[in-house]
Structure 1
């Protein structure tokens, strides 16, 4: 089990781990996904913001909030704010890495990452107002793929 500098939101029943440098927009993306899920009719909830713990379990990776930040999200200029829709943990199904410049097309092998022994789909996004919609689109594609396997 280890704490990582990341945020995590659940879409449907799938955890989405959002990683990036300080100020890269992790909390903003979480807030955007919570809002987009609400208007799209998709269950969304905060797992943890800024720091989450990752625990391998039965070949899967489970994210949980850091105890000091459970139920809170940082909003720049307002500080830590409570979030109503939270869950205590989620099985990770997707990793989103926020970078200043994301490649237009993913490099060979870059669409999967191994974290603590678990292989997870990965996407790299740059600051973009539509990135929450991009994450939602990728999540929906993953759900379709999981149903057909």
Structure 2
């Protein structure tokens, strides 16, 4: 990690007051899932915006993790098989949860207990696994976050 942060292959968004970091290998559905969450949150009247797609710069911000977008891709998201779209974006925001798209049948039905995403600086985020192609991914994620809150409270705020 440099002084400028750790540049990783991921997608980051804000929906409502929560920052999400979509992780996983290339082609796993990160961008599509993030775009669906942005659209679903907006349809519910919540603020939603892209932070970065494909490359996300992560850096420590106090006890939190700040996600930023490399200048060359600000506001751009790849909609696989459709092209590159320009969407509402923020230059930076805190991220609170890592989202891992999973293909149906590719893994156990229940996730590992206390699964975490770790940066090279040692910062961690709880991981929420989301089935690729689920109809309401934002609602799915928020339901899991709410159910985990008693065991592992997630402090929600934006940068």
Report how far residue 26 of structure 1 moved.
1.1
Q: Which runs of 5+ in 2 are unaligned?
A: none
SS in 2 for 1:34: helix
Deviations 1:1-20 (A, max 9, x none): 11111001102232100012
Q: Report the alpha carbon displacement of residue 132 of structure 1 after superposing the two structures with TM.
A: 3.6
* Alpha carbons 1:5, 1:51 under 8 Å: kept: yes
- 1:120 is matched with 125
Tell me whether 117-126 or 47-56 shows the greater mean CA deviation. Answer: 117-126
Distance 1:102 1:135, change over 3 A: farther
CA distances 1:22-64 after superposition (whole Å, capped 9, x unpaired) = 2111111111111111111221111011111101121211001
Q: Among residues 132, 144, 155, which one is paired with 1:138 in the alignment? A: 144
Query: Gaps (5+ residues) in structure 1?
Result: none
The match for 2:89 among 79, 86, 89 is 86
Partner of 1:97: 100
How do residues 1-149 of structure 1 correspond to structure 2 at under 5 angstroms?
1-83=5-87, 85-100=88-103, 101-110=106-115, 112-115=116-119, 116-130=121-135, 131-139=137-145, 145-146=153-154
Higher helix share: 1
TM-score, structure 2 normalization? 0.79
Instruction: Provide TM-score, normalisation by structure 1.
Output: 0.84
**Residue 139 of structure 1: CA displacement?**
4.4
| CA apart distance, 1:121 | 1.5
Q: Please give the secondary structure, in 1, of the residue aligned with 2:96.
A: strand
> How many residues align structurally?
145
Of residues 10-19 and 124-133 in structure 1, the stretch that sits farther from structure 2 once superposed is 124-133
